Structure 1
Amino acid sequence: MKFAIALFSPPHAPSSRRALRFAEAVLAGGHEINRLFFYQDGVHNASGGVVTPQDEADLPAQWRAFVANHRLDAVVCIAAALRRGELNEEEAKRYGRTAVSVAPPWELSGLGQLHEAAQQADRLVCFGGA
């Protein structure tokens, strides 16, 4: 079965950990993830600038390793990212900013990527959000 997974919550929210564990279980069960999509405050999971307290799990680092190790398509909504100050190198240059917080394996792209993922997957599973 093909899954698309959307995450709307920041790294410190329980749903971010649940989403990661679900994604790990999907692959362990022999299924496929056609795309991970990070939207709203979920874009912070792709940030290299999040500093996690020593006594908490570093969810952004865990997500980064998971995406890289499994070579997954991991898309961060560009509009939500820009609004929250999460920039890749190209967008930092475009807007004259010095800080870059989003780097590979993440890709900044539009909301259409979520729509496309939902159309191509057997199931779209969403975590977090209002």
Structure 2
Amino acid sequence: MSKFIIQVNSASYGSAASYSAYRFAKAALESGHSIEKIFFYQDGVLNTNHLNSPASDEFDLKQAWIELHNQYGTALVNCVSAALRRGVLSESEAKENNLSQWNMQAPFIMGGLGELVIGIETADRLVCF
């Protein structure tokens, strides 16, 4: 079985890329493969905004990522630089920037590009969406 790193570069809504990344990750895990981590980069960090509120008849991609993590333990890592540029902050980043609000919560975590590079070294494949 293969070990994957999934890199998500597009926002939750506006294109099918993030949904395709989710479906690929779910199918890979269900087939017995492992995913080292899912790395949200560029506009992909918008997938992790807890203020996303899709209509009740739409697929909730943020919740789907959380359920994937809960079921398989897959790490969900935001690129901290890309997230901060797009207004996605964890509680610790909000405190560091003297802000009273944040919009990213566990199980999503912040990380740097170094985490992506280290993951690539240990994985068999990097798949970007």
TM range (shorter): over 0.9
Q: SS of 2:101's equivalent?
A: coil
Task: Measure how far apart 1:83 and its partner are.
Answer: 0.5
Query: Match of 1:9?
Result: 10
The DSSP-based 3-state class of the residue aligned with 1:69 is helix
Separation in 2 of the partners of 1:105 and 1:115? 21
Indicate the RMSD between aligned Cα atoms, in angstroms: 1.0
What is the match of residue 70 of structure 2?
Answer: 68
Q: Unaligned regions of 5+ residues in structure 1, if any?
A: none
Q: Tell me the alpha carbon deviations over residues 86-123 of structure 1, each in whole angstroms, 9 at most, x when there is no partner.
A: 11110001101122111111110111111111111000
Moved over 6 A (4+): none
Displacement of 1:67: 1.4
In the TM superposition, residue 55 of structure 1 has moved relative to its aligned partner by 2.9
What is the number of residues matched between the two proteins? 127
Identical residues among aligned pairs (%): 41
Contact 1:34 1:72 survives alignment (8 Å): yes
TM-score (norm 2): 0.94
CA contact (8 A) 1:46 1:64 kept: no
- List runs of 5+ in structure 2 lacking aligned partners: none
Tell me how far 1:56 sits from its aligned partner: 1.7
